[in-house]
Amino acid sequence: MTNDHKVAPSILSADFANIQRDVEMINNSAADWFHVDIMDGHFVPNISFGFPVVKAVKKYATKPLDVHLMITDPDKYLKDFKDAGADHITVHYEACTHLNRTIHAIKDLGCVAGVALNPHTPVALLADIITDVDLVLIMSVNPGFGGQEFIENTYKKVKELKALANEYNPNLFIEIDGGVTTANAGKLIAAGANALVAGSFVFAAQDQTATIAALKSPLTP
Neighbours of 122 (CB within 10 A): 11
Residue pair 191/158 in contact (Cβ under 8 Å)? The answer is yes
Residue pair 179/151 in contact (Cβ under 8 Å)? The answer is yes
CA–CA distance, 192 with 136 (Å, rounded to integer): 12
SS3 category, 40: strand
Catalytic residue among 40, 66, 87, 177: 177
Select from 35, 63, 139 the least CA-distant residue to 95. Answer: 139
CA–CA distance, 217 with 190 (Å, rounded to integer): 14
Catalytic residue among 22, 32, 37, 66: 37
Instruction: Tell me whether residue 75 is one of the annotated catalytic residues.
Output: no
CA–CA distance, 107 with 140 (Å, rounded to integer): 26
Most distant CA pair in the chain, distance: 46
Contacts of 206 (CB under 8 A, 6+ apart): none
Instruction: Tell me whether residue 37 is one of the annotated catalytic residues.
Output: yes
SS3 category, 59: helix
Active site residues: 37, 177
